[in-house]
Structure 1
Amino acid sequence: MSFWETITGSDLTRQWHRFDARARALPADHQAAWEQITVHLYPYADFTGRNLTPILDAALSLLEEAAADGQSAHEVFGDDIAGFCTALAGGAGARTYRDRWREQLNSNVARKLGRLGG
């Protein structure tokens, strides 16, 4: 990956286009599951989303294998796609972007208050 790709995110854009093309080739129920997976995993992304690319690739591969084996998305994930995504992201205590923003805000406020009070 070049410096330009890192700065602009063009490599990620190409990757997302490849994901979309792969997902469009899936049966309808698998496509719906893919949409739910992306929605539920998005909060675990960092600013660029680079940390989710390998996770999304693995989830999409699982959907492709299930479709090739004739399994429905429900057979693979059951009723809890959100729980599956939480497990993929590192479990129930995994930090989301909101957690990181909250920590940054609290740190900035504490630093400003420390300057004002000291």
Structure 2
Amino acid sequence: MDTGSNEPKKRYQRYLEAVTGPFDDKRRWRQYKARVRALPENYRAAVEALERYLMHFGPGDGAEAASMFEDIADLFEHAAADGTPIREIFGENPVEFVEAFLQNYSSGSYVRRERERFADAVARAAGETPGDDERAVR
């Protein structure tokens, strides 16, 4: 599509990004997926299971999610290169591993944000300042 000048093209790109999301996040996602495809089969299967879990409980922000998935790719690339067994990466309880991993990402998961919102609403209803409970629901 020939737009004739740079300004209309930029406007067109802004419109597309508003509809589809930032192009940079999509580029990062494709690079991450390529890195995962290059892993040995058992590591790839573990990453795909982790990815599926994180799609439900991980950060909703595109940039932070992209960083999180890039960190996963780094972790598993190094583990594959070192020959680290899958169980040694996750430990005995994979859910504890993933929950500890998620703590490194500030916006956190949808579930965590909703728990905090709920606790704050109850605190306000009780006449307290939200956050007084030191986030006991975490």
Q: Is the TM-score greater than 0.5? A: yes
Partner of 2:135: none
**TM-score when scaled to structure 2?**
0.59
Opposite residue 58 of structure 2, the aligned amino acid is Y
State how many pairs are aligned: 103
Equivalences for 1:20-99 in 2 at 5 Å?
A: 20-42=33-55, 43-46=57-60, 48-90=61-103, 96-99=109-112
Higher RCO (C-alpha under 8 Å, 6+ residues apart): 1
Distance 1:22 1:38, change over 3 A: same
Name structure 1 gaps, 5 residues minimum: 108-118
Q: Which has the higher helix share?
A: 1
Q: Which has the larger radius of gyration?
A: 2
Give 1:101 shift.
5.3
Mind listing any 5+ residue stretches in structure 2 that lack a counterpart? 1-9, 122-138
CA displacement at 1:87 relative to structure 2: 0.6
**8 Å Cα contact 1:37/1:82 also seen in 2:** no
Question: What CA RMSD, in Å, does the superposition of the two structures yield over aligned residues?
Answer: 3.1
